[in-house]
């Protein structure tokens, strides 16, 4: 399994390219595998680390979505989307 952090402490590029749904599905698979207790210790630690990176990625994606939702404002002409950045 790939490492979860680069030397600079960043999330690996493969996780950064995942959609929220893809990352969540992989995270759910990791949780199920860890709960089964069937893996070797080293593999379990690597899976846990990847799961932590996936969790962070999902949280970031949710925060981005929340910002977009909060950016929707009602004007006299109806709902509009204001600039978030």
Residue 61 in contact with residue 20, Cβ under 8 Å?
A: yes
Q: Quote the pLDDT of residue 4.
A: 43
Domains assigned to the chain:
13-81 (1.10.287)
Predicted confidence (pLDDT) at residue 77 exceeds the cutoff of 80: no
Instruction: Pick 1 or 65 by higher pLDDT.
Output: 65
Q: Summarize pLDDT for 3-50 with one digit per residue, the tens.
A: 444 444 567 889 999 999 999 999 999 999 999 998 899 999 999 999
Nearest to 73 by CA among 64, 82, 65: 82
If you average pLDDT over residues 60-79, what whole number do you get?
Answer: 82
If you average pLDDT over residues 52-60, what whole number do you get?
Answer: 97
**CA atoms of 22 and 15, how far apart (whole Å):** 9
Predicted confidence (pLDDT) at residue 56 exceeds the cutoff of 80: yes
Residue 81 in contact with residue 37, Cβ under 8 Å?
A: no
**CA atoms of 24 and 57, how far apart (whole Å):** 9
């Amino acid at each position: 399994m790939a490492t979860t952090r680069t030397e600079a402490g960043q999330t690996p590029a493969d996780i950064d390219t995942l959609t929220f749904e893809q990352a969540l599905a992989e995270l759910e698979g990791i949780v199920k595998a860890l709960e089964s207790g069937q893996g070797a210790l080293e593999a379990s630690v690597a899976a846990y680390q990847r799961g932590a990176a996936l969790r962070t990625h999902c949280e970031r994606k949710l925060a981005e979505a929340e910002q977009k939702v909060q950016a929707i404002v009602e004007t006299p002409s109806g709902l509009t989307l204001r600039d978030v950045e």
